[in-house]
Structure 1
């Protein structure tokens, strides 16, 4: 299989390699604890048609980096397998099968991952219960640009990382600042929270 992958069309080899590299990077960042890759990718696709597609694939319940990894690896793997089985056919024709297969597999696997991953909205704590909680800016500064991240502790003592921006336009809240969550930003489907410095 490794030989097939190395001899495969770039159309499938590069996505497979990129997906595997993304997976390894996710593992590394998990242990290092820095550079929130999923947040950066989610910011990049926010408000785009690609972002809408990722919403259907469980964006917000599964980190976008994991969804992207699943798409790339499945697309590349299916394409390489078909190419090895039917070498006489052009590589582009296999993409017609590999693309929907990748989307379907990502949806199915994403649904299952979403059931076991810790989420910002859990059975124990709903998103509405984050309002009023105090926390710290972990990815900032928070301003009128892309949402940053804050860490808050719920009533059970569990720590949650939320995407956030200031409730008041023009406000800048520096990384490390103490904040309080005041509302959900419904313009971002409730996935972004509005915060203000604490004490105000």
Structure 2
């Protein structure tokens, strides 16, 4: 068993599971001393996603991808453990099946893509269920309704009326947030890099106006 886990084709998967064990151990030690790695990671990364996944997925962009992966609904530590565990276990299971059924070397090269794809699907599926049990910490959270009047920068795509683009902003807690924005006027567009002022929140995006300092 140990030889199988330490085999070159399984190295990445064994490392992923080792990291999971290390994170779990660190969290256990942190809890003993009255702290939490979970909270620390969320505070250090300092970003949030304002995304209605079903509404925004058609617009594409980082917001929809991260939302689909439930990163906006889970503490980062929980998300990392779920992702790494899924990647490690599915990779080992795949290689174990290939070894016992075929033992064809070229099939081992597919292990990482198969494991990564499987991990993404598992994270999406299980992440939603886990989020209902372990909600994301909101230690220094800002309500999305408080974004009105804040300046954001278009980071991906070109925003036009009815076609939202992704933008980012930093709140007073130095947390980065990703939002979808669009202009209110039919003849107005916001290309990538444009600074805009958030005006009004709709179901799937923010109505914004050009920022004129």
User: Normalized against structure 2, the TM-score is what?
Assistant: 0.48
Contact 1:12 1:79 in 2 (8 A): yes
Q: Gaps (5+ residues) in structure 2?
A: 48-60, 148-168, 177-200, 206-213
How far the C-alpha of 1:107 sits from its partner, in A, is 1.2
The yes-or-no answer on 1:37 pairing with 2:36 is: no
- Structure 2 matches for 1:85-104, cutoff 5 A? 85-87=97-99, 88=103, 89-90=105-106, 91-104=108-121
Q: Distance in 1 between matches of 2:66 and 2:19?
A: 18
Asked which structure has the greater CA Rg, the reply is 2
Match of 2:20 in 1: 19
Q: Gaps (5+ residues) in structure 1?
A: 44-48, 132-143, 150-162, 165-185, 191-200
Match of 2:131 in 1: 114
- Structure 2 matches for 1:32-71, cutoff 5 A? 32-34=34-36, 36-41=40-45, 53-71=65-83
Alignment CA distance shift 1:53-1:77 (3 Å): same
How far the C-alpha of 1:106 sits from its partner, in A, is 1.0
How far the C-alpha of 1:98 sits from its partner, in A, is 0.9
Contact 1:79 1:98 in 2 (8 A): yes
Q: Distance in 2 between matches of 1:85 and 1:129?
A: 50
Alignment CA distance shift 1:54-1:29 (3 Å): farther
Contact 1:74 1:101 in 2 (8 A): yes
Q: Distance in 2 between matches of 1:57 and 1:64?
A: 12
Task: Supply the RMSD in Å over aligned alpha carbons.
Answer: 4.2
- Structure 2 matches for 1:1-200, cutoff 5 A? 4-7=4-7, 9=9, 10-31=11-32, 32-34=34-36, 36-41=40-45, 53-87=65-99, 88=103, 89-90=105-106, 91-119=108-136, 127=143, 148=173
How far the C-alpha of 1:4 sits from its partner, in A, is 3.3
Alignment CA distance shift 1:17-1:102 (3 Å): same
Alignment CA distance shift 1:38-1:117 (3 Å): same
How far the C-alpha of 1:18 sits from its partner, in A, is 1.7
